[in-house]
A and B are shown apart, each in its own frame.
Chain A
Amino acid sequence: MKMQFSKTIGGMAIVASTLILTGCPSSNDNNSQVEPPKDAPAVKQEYKVTVTNLTANQPFSPITVVAHSAEYPQYRVGEPASNALERLAESGNNSGFSSEKGVEKVASGSGELFPGNKVEVTISLDVDKLLPVSVLTMPVNTNDAFVGLSTIDVSGLAKGQTLSFRGNIYDAGTEANTESKGTVPGPAGGGQGYNSERDDINKVHIHPGVISADDGLTGSALSASHRFDNPGMSVVIERVK
């Protein structure tokens, strides 16, 4: 009880002094002495994003963490996928996001994330530009599915604090779900990944699930264990610096 107390007072004191410091330059334009030198490195805050693959038999493409302005989400349900998202959802390739509008930074896991496994991806953001983050990956035994978590505000996290989420599995809507060997890039199919043609409804939506050959889809390269239900991944974001 007593300890809690003094901690709180300490916390308050810090808040107060921060307010005073940041208050100075804006309230007095003539005071140029407080300007930092031009080549001083920006102060960074670092976030550890831990993703767990919760599916039975869908390896994930390298986990992709995108920091972007809130006005430019990386997908919107009911709207066409961006080119970067199409490429990710059809082939697992996340190289397109860095050139998407509003994107500040992209951090990527290094390899596939297998079912039941977890990976940590770290992203550091400028303290004066703590943009929201989105987490994206392709379950690779599909035509154009992606697991997504959109536009998470991390700016309020204190060091050591965490936020926990579950991500649903979406359909990018850019490729017909034939499930055929030639079109599923994962180990179940070994087929083609990205194709710029859009031969599906061209709207992002919740994935209806795969059917599989076991359930009677002729020509499907998938079996019963490739089917899935939501959520597809767990995401824990911790501010570490």
Chain B
Amino acid sequence: MNLKTLVKSMMLTAAVSLPATAAQLEISITNLTHGNHFTPILVAAHGADTSLFKAGEKASPELQKMAEGGQIDDLVTLVEGANGVTVKNPANGLLAPSGKTDKFSFDTGDRKYLSVVAMILPTNDAFIGLSNWKIPTEKGTYTLNLNGYDAGTEANNELVLEGSGMAGVLGIPVAPGKDAGTGGSGLTDSSSNDKVHIHPGVLGDLDKSGGVSDLDSRVHRWLNPVARVVVTVK
């Protein structure tokens, strides 16, 4: 093959595979847990230099707020301040166990990475996480399984305490399924891992009005994966 032909054929290939300038996504998210709710979900598209969290690194104050109290506003500001775009609260509130969001559209423009977070309730600082998934340029449907992470910012004492959704206030803010106990003595969390890591899972107990934990071990435990995200690249 002479060089001229080679260059010609390569030009043709380049023209055909030129990536689209805008990605149109259609997304749905499913709660795979037995008895845990997700707080309002944040879906973000952003550049390589932005991330909502990184496993093995300390949580940002914005992530901590989300993981301890379900508040995504500060993460939204962080993403949009870095030229990212977001979909806020696609489930219109809490996403119940086995619940699934309606499909929603997301125009990610030229941003190359997708991230998803939401707090898992009732927990101290657990969240579902997808971090910097590279948005495929090839059309098709992609299924992603998400793990449950521990933000590493609060001890897992497993006690439900009103007002504890504020960052830095120890406790589980609420059990949306109204299936938690009361009067637990509080679990001792001997972990010193203050980085984002895979959540060891909640313990719970069988005592509705005492015991060590306010969580119910028959209801609130989970195993990974905890959420499924289906992304269609149009």
Contacts and interface: CB of A to CB of B under 8 A. Distances in A.
Interface of A: 1, 4-5, 8-9, 12, 52-57, 115-118, 209, 212, 214-215, 223-232, 234
A52 B56 contact: yes
B55 interface: yes
A9 B10 CA distance: 9
A115 B55 contact: no
Contacts of A226: 190, 200
Nearest to B152: A116
A214 B201 CA distance: 13
A131 B148 CA distance: 34
Contacts of B203: 212, 214-215, 224, 227
Contact of A224 (B6, B189, B194): B189
A1 B10 CA distance: 12
A4 B14 contact: yes
A54 B152 contact: no
Contact of A116 (B7, B197, B199, B212): B197
Given A4-B14, A8-B10, A214-B212, A56 B197 contact: yes
B100 interface: no
B87 interface: no
* B-side interface mostly: loop
Contacts of A56: 150, 191, 193, 197-200
A205 B147 CA distance: 21
A214 B197 contact: no
* A-side interface mostly: loop
19 contacts: A5-B11, A53-B56, A55-B193, A57-B190, A57-B191, A115-B195, A214-B187, A214-B212, A215-B217, A223-B190, A224-B156, A224-B188, A226-B190, A227-B200, A228-B201, A229-B199, A231-B224, A234-B55, A234-B56
Interface of B: 6-7, 10-11, 14, 55-56, 147-148, 150, 152, 156, 187-195, 197-201, 203, 212, 217, 223-224
Given A54-B197, A224-B156, A225-B200, A231 B147 contact: yes
A173 to B, nearest CB: 20
B169 to A, nearest CB: 20
A132 to B, nearest CB: 24
Contact of B55 (A54, A209, A229): A54
A161 B132 CA distance: 17
Contact of B189 (A115, A118, A225, A231): A225
B225 to A, nearest CB: 9
A4 B197 CA distance: 38
Nearest to A50: B56
B7, B187, B199, B200 — most chain A CB neighbours (10 Å): B200
A230 B224 contact: yes
